[in-house]
Homo-oligomer: A and B are copies of this chain.
Amino acid sequence: MTRKQLIDNIKNKQSFLCVGLDPDIKKIPQHLLDCENPLFEFNRQIIDATAPYAVAYKPNLAFYESLGTEGWIAFEKTVNYLREHYPDQLIIADAKRGDIGNTSRMYAQSFFEHLGVDAVTVAPYMGEDSVTPFLGYEGKWVVLLALTSNKGSHDFQLTEDTDGTRLFEKVITTSSRWASPESMMYVVGATQGRMFEDIRRLAPDNFLLVPGVGAQGGSLEEVCRYGMTPDCGLLVNSSRGIIFASDGTDFAQRAAEEAKKLQQQMAEELKKFSV
């Protein structure tokens, strides 16, 4: 999906909601456990219920890998289901991969050619040749970790170098030389508040993928105040707050309600910034 298509989808739907498909087998409704593939059935119903309010879906690979082969099948079926029924949704494989060049190339082929997702989250620690194999696919995206939502983000990402540049800032400026905002997004946690101002100085046009609203405590309003651009420039993710809104037979309906609530707040924010 191109940047222009993504922006059009956001404007048309008045939403920049990304739904995190992290279906923990221990938390999904009991009545689904009898299905042939409970994880996929859970995702399918969540997707059907929330698609009107979302522009992107982000399955995190950990929740699929933890079930071995069955989980991997659920992941593939989920991607195929989205592709077939909701081709206007951006699919982000939240995998946080990154390895030496020839190995990153295998991961890139896996996600972009074999599975056909639109975007992959990538970890920057190993530098340029670990990231660039994911670039150069027409209409595909790298979503590079910059400033994450968790407590551990303080351990290394905020370390200042001899010029006073923090590591996450160096990651953004260095990686900006590898790809344009047409194919590079950054992960910035919603818990980082005013740091969005600093990030916008370095990455005025890049889309930011923002986890951490909801269960992790980030504020949508604050993210928009400091992070929104004339093109929106944000994809705000919610996982647990939507998909586990209920663990009963009404889980999909309750997920839709939570997604709709967020979409309505997002529409307000888009209006404020005249997007």
A127 CA / B155 CA spacing, docked (Å): 5
A270 contacts partner chain B, Cβ-Cβ < 8 Å: no
Q: How many copies of this chain does the complex contain?
A: 2
B156, A62: Cβ atoms closer than 8 Å: no
> Binary interface profile of A, 209-223, with partner B (CB < 8 Å = 1, else 0)?
001000010000000
A167 to B131, CA, bound (A): 19
Q: Are B126 and A145 in contact (CB under 8 A)?
A: yes
Q: Given A161-B159, A171-B156, A66–B106 Cβ distance below 8 Å?
A: yes
A72 within 8 A of B: yes
Inter-chain contact B156/A101, CB cutoff 8 Å: no
User: How far is A123 from B102 in the complex, measured between Cα atoms in Å?
Assistant: 18
List B contacts of A99 (CB < 8 A).
60, 62, 94, 96
Which A residues contact B (CB, under 8 angstroms)?
22, 24, 60, 62-63, 65-69, 72-73, 76, 94, 96-101, 103-104, 106-107, 109-110, 114-115, 123-131, 145, 148-157, 159-162, 164, 167, 170-171, 174, 211, 216
A65: nearest residue on chain B (CB-CB)? Answer: B110
Query: A154 CA to B162 CA in the complex, in Å?
Result: 16
Task: Enumerate chain B residues within 8 angstroms of A127, measured Cβ to Cβ.
Answer: 150-157
Subset of 5 A-B contacts with CB under 8 Å: A60-B99, A62-B106, A65-B107, A125-B156, A127-B151
